Structure 1
Amino acid sequence: MSVIRAFIAIDLSPEILLRLDDVLENYRAQLLKVPIRWVGVTNIHLTLKFLGDVSLSNLNMLTDMIHAEVSSHHQFEISVGGSGVYPSIRQPRVIWIGVEAPQELIAVQNGISSATAKLGYAREDKAFSPHLTLGRVSRNATSQDVKAISQTLEKTRVGFLGAACVEKVHLYRSDLHPTGAEYTQLFSSSLIR
């Protein structure tokens, strides 16, 4: 049985990606010596559901489920801006940019989460917190590294980066390589206009 790593996500507009690239470059320059795996700007997306291993034999069932769920919701607008870390500034593991969550986004994500759970995919332990991952901090980060991250986020405030209409939801394949992840779009479903 062949499997792929997969996730369900929303793409961002080229304008927002351009602004995110500026933020990334700024953070990279300031945190050059800190062990962070930065996400390439072309790989930045809003993850709705990480599926993990998906059997190729289940792909049709999964795409049917995505279409059924997504096509019952209307298009909506997201706003991008602000920055932070998970889980805390004292123990940063993920550097992120915020996404304002309109009710329709929450409804789409909840629907996808419920539908994928019926197909046997694990539910998240935590409530959905929409964000865009910019980088993952190594577990080998020292207290000096953590201080540098904290200071950089404090002095480099990220304001409003833009808003965009969300028209589609996508299923992506994720292939891991030594140079980073490579994402391939497998399927898209449109929201109602």
Structure 2
Amino acid sequence: MAVMVRCPCIPCDLAPLARVPLRFAKGTIELIGYDYWMQRLSEHPRYSASLDSGFRRNDVGSRGNDVGDRPRRRRGATRREVEPVLLPGGVSDEEVEEDALYWRLFVAVTLPRRAIRVLDSMARSMRAVSYGGMQRRRPSRGAVAYDAVRWTAPENMHITLKFLGDVHQDDLPLLKEELDEVAGDSARLMLELGSNGCFPGERTPRILWTGMDGDLRRMSSLATRLDGAMVRCGFPAERREFQPHVTVGRVRSGTQQRVLAAIGQRWLEARASGGGNDVGVPVERMVLMRSRLHHNRPTRYERLYEVGLG
């Protein structure tokens, strides 16, 4: 059995990696500490070249040629034609992603196609949003507000049950065992798409989400059992009350206040005017997902493991 704890000997700039296993054998507890992490870091493609230079992260910077520049897309080029970012030593960010020992993981519930179509339709309806005081001809006012939001790709829409963060590949078997146990003790349930909401508020929205109705009590119990299982694996417990929702968009930083207010108001109205009432969301399985982050490409989600409830 292995339990993950935070290691105080790892510098703060390596916090995403600072999760150390406690291994139990014959009644003794062994903390695999500094030497263990030096070995793991020496195998990590992003940090191995930095061990002799004060743990300075070997990552892509926002400026300067010494850590790599963001590639510029030529006029008329598609996103696929942009060359991968090169890290020091000529290693691309795509190769680092493939060879990474630590994966960014979360546990989620996927959505049926009908629910995804309704959510995507509401997002596209935001092109019709208008706001006063803006003197723009091209693009249209609605397009300006629409483009002020990073919309979630339809294939990426989901309900997050538990965010895990960066997890070493060696810990995947333990996570799967815990997921199997939680799923075996949980029954299937049915949710429905609920009303829209904004975080932190309608006047200054940053997150645009759609909530859930239906069997919320059993859904909350499922999330609580999952959280307890992940705490036993060393992950921090959730401090906030679980509220099932789908994040449909994130407002870009720097958006003007008048645009923010219009986006928030229109998003709250979009659910009522967009139709799609009584759209069922069956919760029949949990999915362990990997978030694949790229410097110059949209985030992609990969299904690593699925387990049915009941």
Cα 1:187/1:98, change in 2 over 3 Å: same
Cα 1:28/1:70, change in 2 over 3 Å: farther
Residue in 2 that maps onto 1:144: 258
Post-superposition offset of 1:107: 0.8
Cα 1:91/1:156, change in 2 over 3 Å: same
Tell me which of 22, 46, 59 is aligned to 2:121.
Answer: 22
Give the conservation status (yes or no) of the 8 Å contact 2:202–2:265. no
RCO higher in 1 or 2 (8 Å CA, sep ≥ 6)? 1
For the pair 1:47 / 2:160, whether they are aligned, the reply is: yes
Higher alpha-carbon deviation: 140-149 or 127-136: 140-149
Gap runs ≥5 in structure 1: none
Q: Matched residues in 2 for 1:118 and 1:151: separation? A: 42
Which residue identity lines up with residue 123 of structure 1 in the other structure?
A
Tell me which of 294, 297, 300 is aligned to 1:182.
Answer: 300
Which residue identity lines up with residue 139 of structure 1 in the other structure?
S
Cα 1:8/1:28, change in 2 over 3 Å: farther
Cα 1:113/1:175, change in 2 over 3 Å: same
**What RMSD in Å do the two structures reach over aligned CA positions?**
1.7
Residue in 1 that maps onto 2:107: 8
Report the identity percentage.
Answer: 29
Residue in 2 that maps onto 1:104: 218
Give the conservation status (yes or no) of the 8 Å contact 2:196–2:268. no
Give the conservation status (yes or no) of the 8 Å contact 1:19–1:161. no
Post-superposition offset of 1:110: 0.5
Q: Matched residues in 2 for 1:168 and 1:83: separation? A: 24
Please list, as runs of the form range in 1=range in 2, the aligned pairs for 1:43-192 lying within 5 A after superposition.
43-100=156-213, 101-158=215-272, 160=277, 162-177=279-294, 178-192=296-310
Tell me the TM-score normalised to structure 1 length.
0.92
Higher alpha-carbon deviation: 74-83 or 153-162: 153-162
Q: Matched residues in 1 for 2:173 and 2:182: separation? A: 14
Q: Matched residues in 1 for 2:288 and 2:226: separation? A: 11
Q: What SS does structure 2 have at the residue aligned with 1:92?
A: coil
Moved over 6 A (4+): none
Q: Matched residues in 1 for 2:124 and 2:144: separation? A: 14
Which residue identity lines up with residue 297 of structure 2 in the other structure?
T
Q: Matched residues in 1 for 2:109 and 2:305: separation? A: 12
| Higher strand content, 1 or 2 | 1
Post-superposition offset of 1:40: 0.5
* Number of residue pairs matched by the alignment: 192
Give the conservation status (yes or no) of the 8 Å contact 1:4–1:55. yes
Q: Matched residues in 2 for 1:124 and 1:137: separation? A: 25
Post-superposition offset of 1:42: 0.8
Q: Matched residues in 1 for 2:242 and 2:103: separation? A: 24
Q: What SS does structure 2 have at the residue aligned with 1:116?
A: helix
Gap runs ≥5 in structure 2: 1-39, 41-100, 130-141
Post-superposition offset of 1:29: 5.0
